[in-house]
Amino acid sequence: MIRVLATVFATLTATLPVLAQTTPDNKELVTSFTLDNGLQVIVVEDHRAPVLQHMIWYRSGAADEPRGASGVAHFLEHLLFKATDTLEAGEFSATVAANGGRDNAFTSYDYTAYFQRVAADRLDLMMRMEADRMVNIRLTEQNIATERDVILEERNTRVENSARALFSEQKSAIQYFNHRYGVPVIGWRHEMEALDLDDALSFYRTYYAPNNATLVVSGDVTPDEVKALAQKHYGVIPANPDLPVRVRTQEPPQTAARRMRYKDPRVAQEYVSRSYLAPERNSGDQETAAALFLLAEILGGGTTSYLTEQLQFETQVAVYTGAFYSGQSLDQTTFSVIVVPAEGVSLEEVEAAMDKGLADFIDGGVDPDQLARIKMQLRASQVYARDNVDGIANRYGRALSVGLTIKDVQDWPDILQAVTGEQIIEAAREVLRPETSVTGWLMRDAGLESEVSQ
Amino acid sequence: MKHLMILILALVFAGPAMAEVKIKEVTSPGGLTAWLVEDHSIPFTALEIRFRGGTSLDAPGKRGSIHLMTALIEEGAGDLESRAYARTLEGLAASFGFDSSSDSVSVSARFLSENREAALSLLRDTLHHPRFDQSAIDRVRGQVISSLRSDAKDPDAIAAATFRRLAYGDHPYGSDGAGTIETISGLSRDDIIAAKRAVFSREHLYIGAVGDITAQELGAVIDDLLGDLPATGATIPGLATVGLTGGVTVVDFDTPQSVALFGHAGIDQDDPDFFAAYVLNQVLGGGSFESRLMNEVREKRGLTYGVYSYLSPRDLAATYRGGVSSANGKIAEAIAVISDEWAKAAHEGITKAEMDAAKTYLTGAYPLRFDGNARIAGILVAMQMQDLPIDYIATRNARVEAVTLADVNRVASELLQPEGLRFVVVGKPEGLQDRTD
């Protein structure tokens, strides 16, 4: 084995710079242009199979909803599968299916996206239908009543039936005092129950317009083909001159640590979840976010990460540790750490071990070998990413919906490679401050009374 | 709906687009067989290796040993203990995934061309010299126990466990492949070694590779990786009898939304009527938004976020099953609607228009599956395990097209058993109680 290992390291050393050079840049696969009405278009080419994905991303999501109407962005997403001037309710999906395709949609805080995966020669039809429902939906009171029941059942499935989901919903609410990221995307139940036709149409008329959208087509297509069809179907839709500027209420500085304990009889495995407000990726300014991205990998990205090493291997007080950071967010995001205690270890003990681990890490600095391995993996991930162009397409769609530019997306890999251990520690010091933490304990409730149901 | 019909006709005449997937059968110098799709456009390879039998090969009293072994195999090999092993793998930027199901244990590897040799050398050690250190066994066992505890309080997992027990009883299919807290607490290092010996054999081996590798290279790779495995492994258990009877089984659990699973005996994949059944299911509950169940339960009545059905032809038993979740006060109605639809399809069949739409979807969607090296490698292995011919991909859509309405409706009347459908409901459902029809 020693000989094998030596070979492995020799190979590695020899090939590190080679990989960086031979990785064909994803820039080559990606083309972009903007129509006169403001619709931004991204094309990601992959001609290996005659299929494509057609997506439209609206730069509006749950965090853009008016107060009191939580869930309306997602409700509207469901309603876009109902009738338009030319399609009956359900006909959109039925037509996609009849053409051998799959379609769906998703809503997040900062965007709402619709997509179809179909054979490459069906782009014209997909665009015709997607452009149609951008401006022509026709809703009835019956649609509203039935689909509202559906989203309430969706909330049951995703949230009410899961102690973990209820816990994290409560925790977000105390994380964000003044920003809509504290309100669940699916909505608070009492507000969802009151959503009506006016709520849905008002959101639709405000935000569904070409100058508030990004069209992303990936797969076996050429930019010229996409341009001609996009002009034909989307190009004729006028921009919305009254599109509101995207300004949301922001968080005040956090000056006190916040704590919560959530008890539920359905909890089998207790755990501690810690989070901190953290800066997101901003256009032309992604360095801190890059350091935080690497910090999450180093602290809790897998078997070799720092917290895993300390809490699972050394002291063995945890069965699972993880650290998470998502920089793709319009406004301030979070950096979070989760620790699941080992049998017989209390939440208090495992939290103390986590805090000690975080402090020790900041004192001790980044292991340069670990950082080099992570960077090697990130370079390789660019090779693997080319096997999934829809994934590349999604990355652009999401980034452009949260205020980043194509250049920001393309610069990101190099920015990650340039991050130093010192910058990571600096970012950790800045973000992982005890006085600005939010700590939640998900706890077993042995009592017969459930505190959570309904 | 006129609009839709025009589209369907247009498509039938145009013919669906078909990805060109050129599969080669590779026989290694050592006599192993693999299926390969060469594609040198991206400098990496996806290698999928599967061993038939899976967790169903657990020795008596050792339930969970194969699942635990599969979780432990990436915890160190040769001279590398867990963390050194993980660091080495990270440094190679390769990934090895190990997974177990009731029918197979799979090894899914992905590695760059530039350090292929080093990555495969590590994979070889992983398969032949896993360490199974006691400290790793204890640590990973703790993780499995934690997850089994969570399952015990999770309505979806409770429903699956109950359904499985009712369907298969004492057969391995009747219990969780991960074992129970009791069984895995009793496993020794020797049990883990025995589990490995039971699974990894040339007799049960299937190989698929896709990407930047030639047939000759692959032949040498698989001989080196797998040629030394023992010729035979543990004996695969006999067929399971599907013991489901019509009725409702309620598992009381305090949660606002009831989770229901339902099903009865199904149809084998090599049955001449399989494609007719497949088309039938597409219409009944297989589509995402277009199926009858989705239409009746969700679109018309708003009783659920999702309802589905699917054919589950496994190696040792076939079932036809589905699922739905509805608020405790609505689940009884959802179940009544599903039962009605089941009966309606059994007695009246489906229409020609429905069948045509389903076929157009199934044939058109087929090429969408072949999207990525790892995905295709998985398909290559699945095809071999189902004993399908190597040119199957090119002929598969013709098999769907060959299904007639008479076939589908005959199969509907034979396969669907409205009186034999068992519902397992976990929650506090209103107006439902245990019932055997």
Residue A177 pLDDT greater than 60, yes or no: yes
Using the Cα atoms of residue B386, residue B387, residue B388 and residue B390 in order, give the sign of their dihedral.
Answer: positive
Nearest to B327 by CA among B434, B433, B429: B429
Q: In the prediction, which pLDDT does A292 show?
A: 98
Interchain pair B121, A342: CB under 8 A: no
Interchain pair B360, A98: CB under 8 A: yes
Residue A320's alpha-carbon distances to A34, A307, B178, B191, in angstroms, are 46, 9, 18, 25
Interchain pair B146, A319: CB under 8 A: yes
Q: In the prediction, which pLDDT does B371 show?
A: 85
Chain A residue closest to B95 (CA)?
A: A377
Q: In the prediction, which pLDDT does A27 show?
A: 56
| pLDDT bucket at A48, cuts 50 / 70 / 90 | confident
Does the annotation mark A451 as catalytic?
A: no
| E-strand stretches of A205-332 | 213-219, 258-264, 271-278, 318-325
Stretch (H or E) spanning A51: strand A51-58
Q: In the prediction, which pLDDT does A445 show?
A: 87
- Chain A residues within an 8 Å CB radius of B47: none
In B227-330, alpha helices (H):
274-281, 292-293
Interchain pair A377, B93: CB under 8 A: yes
Residue B263's alpha-carbon distances to B182, B349, B416, B417, in angstroms, are 29, 18, 10, 9
Q: In the prediction, which pLDDT does B339 show?
A: 98
Q: In the prediction, which pLDDT does A400 show?
A: 96
Chain-centroid distance, C-alpha A212? 19
Q: In the prediction, which pLDDT does B367 show?
A: 87
Q: In the prediction, which pLDDT does A290 show?
A: 98
Residues of chain B with pLDDT under 70: 1-19
| Pairing mode of beta strands A51-58, A112-119 | antiparallel
Nearest to A209 by CA among A239, A245, A236, A232: A239
Burial (0-12, 13-18, 19+ Cβ within 10 Å), A266: buried
More confident residue, A168 or A445: A168
Chain B residue closest to A93 (CA)?
A: B289
Q: Residues B228-259: pLDDT tens digits? A: 999 999 999 999 999 999 999 999 999 999 99
Q: In the prediction, which pLDDT does A444 show?
A: 93
Which pair of structure tokens corresponds to residue B153? Answer: 């309080």
Chain-centroid distance, C-alpha B236? 18
| Pairing mode of beta strands B33-38, B205-211 | parallel
Residue A9 pLDDT greater than 90, yes or no: no
Beta pairing partners, A453: none
Q: Is residue B339 within 8 Å of residue B417, measured between CB atoms?
A: no
CA dist., res. B92 & res. A283, Å (int): 32
Note whether B430 contacts A: Cβ–Cβ < 8 A.
Answer: no
Q: Is residue A441 within 8 Å of residue A268, measured between CB atoms?
A: no
Chain A residue closest to B354 (CA)?
A: A98
Residue B143's alpha-carbon distances to B12, B185, B273, in angstroms, are 52, 12, 43
More confident residue, A9 or B345: B345
Backbone dihedral angles phi then psi of residue A336, each to the nearest 5 degrees:
-135, 155
Q: CB-CB: which of A147, A373, A379 is closest to B90? A: A373
Of the listed ranges A284-298, A377-391, A413-427, B186-200, the one predicted with least confidence: A377-391
CA dist., res. A347 & res. A328, Å (int): 31
Question: Which of the residues A82, A153, A160, A453 would you substitute to probe the B interface, choosing the one with the greatest number of B C-beta atoms within 10 Å?
Answer: A153
Note whether B18 contacts A: Cβ–Cβ < 8 A.
Answer: yes
Q: CB-CB: which of B4, B91, B298 is closest to A376? A: B91
- Report the share of chain A in percent with pLDDT over 90: 88
Which pair of structure tokens corresponds to residue B341? Answer: 């639809």
Q: In the prediction, which pLDDT does A447 show?
A: 54
- Chain A residues within an 8 Å CB radius of B256: 156, 160-161, 453-454
Q: Label residue B128 left, alpha or beta by phi (over 0 means left) and psi (-120 to 50 means alpha).
A: alpha
- Chain A residues within an 8 Å CB radius of B355: none
Rounded to a whole number of angstroms, the distance between the first and last alpha carbons of chain B is 39
| E-strand stretches of A70-212 | 102-107, 112-119
Name the strands in the sheet holding A333-341, side by side, starting at the edge strand that comes first in the sequence.
A258-264, A437-444, A271-278, A333-341, A318-325
Residue A80 pLDDT greater than 50, yes or no: yes
Which pair of structure tokens corresponds to residue A82? Answer: 């109902």
Mean pLDDT of A105-121: 96
Size of interface A-B (CB pairs under 8 A): 246
Burial (0-12, 13-18, 19+ Cβ within 10 Å), A13: exposed
- Chain A residues within an 8 Å CB radius of B366: 100
Q: In the prediction, which pLDDT does A28 show?
A: 61
ipTM associated with this complex: 0.90
Q: Residues A216-240: pLDDT tens digits? A: 999 999 999 999 999 999 999 999 9
Using the Cα atoms of residue B288, residue B293, residue B295 and residue B298 in order, give the sign of their dihedral.
Answer: negative
Residue A23 pLDDT greater than 90, yes or no: no
Which pair of structure tokens corresponds to residue B281? Answer: 């299911």
Q: Residues A119-139: pLDDT tens digits? A: 999 999 999 999 999 999 999
Reduced to 3 states (helix: H, G, I; strand: E, B; else coil), residue A114 is strand
More confident residue, B290 or A71: A71
- Chain A residues within an 8 Å CB radius of B93: 19, 376-377, 379-381
Q: In the prediction, which pLDDT does B117 show?
A: 97
Interchain pair B146, A320: CB under 8 A: yes
Q: Which of A45, A65, A77, A351 is catalytic?
A: A77
